[in-house]
Amino acid sequence: MESALDYWQAKAALEWQVELGADEAICEAPVDRYELPDAQPVPKKPAPAPVAPPAPALVAGVFDPAEAAKQAAAAADSLETLQQALAGFEHCELKRGARNTVFADGNPAAQVMLIGEAPGRDEDIQGKPFVGRAGQLLDRMFDYIGMARNAPEAEKALYITNILPWRPPQNRDPKPEEIAMILPFIQRHIELADPKAIVLMGNISCQAMLGRRGITRLRGNWADVLGRPALAMFHPAYLLRNPQAKREAWADLLTLQARLRQL
């Protein structure tokens, strides 16, 4: 028979276990460990493998938006399929805030391809490049040398696009990474349209296609873009802010007209 001391010690031990949370027996009957074979150690669950940190978005071997653009552009075999590929390109943040993908306007068979910078408010709404005040001035400028975007003859027609197809917020300048991402589409656009001459309108166009800025130094000079002569000119929006520069713009138009006669 157990002594009272043994009883109170056992009771205290039980209460201590209850305070620790052991308020329920695992088995209904006690287990005699001496009658069991040598107990095998209970296997522990393997520790979960360490989770590798997420890879950066732009790393060789991981998804690269610029490479995706290059592949999509290269797969296009016509202006129509290139437009579809550009409209379906979902990796540029600018597209999320734009109403329309501004692809091009004018006659695709034109001898001259104009490359602007990026759509503004009016262009974003209408889905065409150069339709605002700057576009109206552009039309008047080229009308002086007998050229227009709606001319049916290739010799008198213009084909117009932009470096970026989507409007940047608050009409800010495109970022270098945005230009690099869309550049394959522009290069393929030039190859498919196959103009005899290119006009780069403004600093952003020169930066993208020539790798240089400084339109006041570049304007009026010819360069090579994908094997085609390219002339840098002031953007019409710049001329609206600086009317005194229209004299240089007129000289550039005459330079273009003279060069086209030689092609």
What is the number of other CB atoms lying within 10 angstroms of the CB of residue 162? 29
Residue 138 counted as domain residue: yes
> What distance in Å separates the CA atoms of residue 128 and residue 91, rounded to the nearest whole number?
21
Instruction: Give me the pLDDT at residue 9, please.
Output: 67
Residue 125 counted as domain residue: yes
Q: Which of 155, 230, 141 is nearest to 187 (CA)?
A: 230
Domains contained in the chain, number: 1
Q: Which domain holds residue 123?
A: 65-262
Residue 53 counted as domain residue: no
Residue 236's CATH number: 3.40.470.10
The answer to whether residue 241 scores a pLDDT higher than 60 is: yes
Residue 40 counted as domain residue: no
Residue-wise pLDDT for 25-41, tens only, equals 555 565 555 554 554 55
Residue 136 counted as domain residue: yes
Residue 49 counted as domain residue: no
Q: Which of 101, 90, 84, 115 is nearest to 186 (CA)?
A: 115
Higher pLDDT, 52 or 23: 23
Q: Work out the average pLDDT over 146-157.
A: 96
Residue 15 counted as domain residue: no
> What distance in Å separates the CA atoms of residue 70 and residue 253, rounded to the nearest whole number?
33
Residue 233 counted as domain residue: yes
- State the DSSP H helix or E strand holding residue 114, giving kind and residue range, or none if neither: strand 112-116
